[in-house]
Amino acid sequence: MRFVAVAIGFLFAATSAFGAGIGPNHLEGYKAEASEPKLAAASIAKASHFLETASLKWTRQNKCGTCHTNLAHIMAEPFLVERDAATEKEIRDSLFDFLASYNPNTAEVPPDKRRANDNILWNRLIIAGTFAMSDGEAGVPQDPRTLARFDQIWTMQSPDGSFKYPKKALPFLEDDPHYVMTMLAISASYLPPEHRNKPAAAAGLKKLHHYLATTPARDRHGELVLLRASLKAPELMSAEKKKELIARTLKLQRPDGGWSVASLGDWPREDGGVNDKNGPADGYGTGFVLYTLCKSGVPADSPAIQNGVAWLKANQRESGRWFTKSLWADNMHNYVSTIGTAYAVMALRQCAKGA
């Protein structure tokens, strides 16, 4: 299996936001650091190996799904190259087994296990949603397990169209419920028509769209995710608003061609520092913005897109990742750097083919 050889060269782990006790040093090897040397030439294959390695290690050690590691890898899967089928199957099976481990009879669950058991419920939103997005983007049939979990998801919906979601700390999955709801709307748009048109799904999606259309996004980052959702649900954002949002986002482009994630919102840091909105471009900011703009129809040959692509090609690191400074704490750069790497790959591939 190719993964074994790759893992030797790309050691990686991450501090667990779910309390699994993995230390912040991420093993010896490729801890995300601004000082990591850059590759002489960008390589999607190397990024693919990095994401696959990080994802498998997270899945084996933490037994859950999180947007900054294994779900980032799954989201990017249709855009990767030299993929390993056995690795992808292990991760997929592990995550669906995790969802299946939920015990609806909470009286049977020991008190010290109830919080973890409850977490499986909201993990349905992000895990099933990410698989729906990935398989839909790849143009392959949806996994029956994804469809089964979506049937359960609609039963969890609140009357206002939102979902109960435990707000925690780390951006973006944990600290912004609106982001989660928007990503769920994007994911649901990839479901097959016969599933979306089921009475419960159709009613649930209508309520979710109403919630998103009437509840403002928290920041520019949330607005850009909503822009993606509006590609399949135009009622979520008017044409005028889309044009205005794209113009505002283009103004944030750095002179070197990249974007900084810190410029897209306000995120308080746990370590007492301040995120510099005028700081240098980074992997997440550039990859996320470029993918969204190209997906939304901004011409790939426009100067802004070409300059952004050039920035990505010039700033990949030796590990295969693109570095992004953590929005939360300086011992957690791996989190946003990994999902930033997923978006960087997605941006390079999406902008190469157009909307």
CA angle 290, 351, 13 (to 5 degrees): 60
Number of compact structural domains in the chain: 1
SS3 state of residue 322: strand
The number of CA neighbours under 13 Å toward the Cβ of 199 is 0
Q: Name the nearest CA neighbour of 178 among 132, 237, 219, 235.
A: 219
Question: DSSP character for 142?
Answer: P
Question: DSSP character for 64?
Answer: S
CA distance 162 to 209: 9
CATH, residue 310: 1.50.10.20
Structural domain harbouring 195? 2-353
CA distance 81 to 70: 17
> In a structure prediction context, what are the per-residue pLDDT tens digits for the chain, which is 355 residues long?
332 222 222 222 232 232 233 333 333 345 899 999 999 999 999 999 999 999 999 999 988 898 889 999 999 999 999 999 999 999 999 999 999 999 999 999 999 999 899 989 989 999 999 999 999 999 999 999 999 999 999 999 999 999 988 877 788 888 899 999 999 999 999 999 999 999 999 999 999 999 999 999 999 999 999 999 999 999 999 999 999 999 999 999 999 999 999 999 999 999 888 999 999 999 999 999 999 999 999 999 999 999 999 999 999 999 999 999 999 999 899 999 999 999 999 999 999 987 6
Tokens found for residue 276: 């510099």
Q: Tell me the C-alpha to C-alpha distance, in Å, between residue 241 and each of 93, 230, 248.
A: 40, 11, 10
CA distance 249 to 251: 5
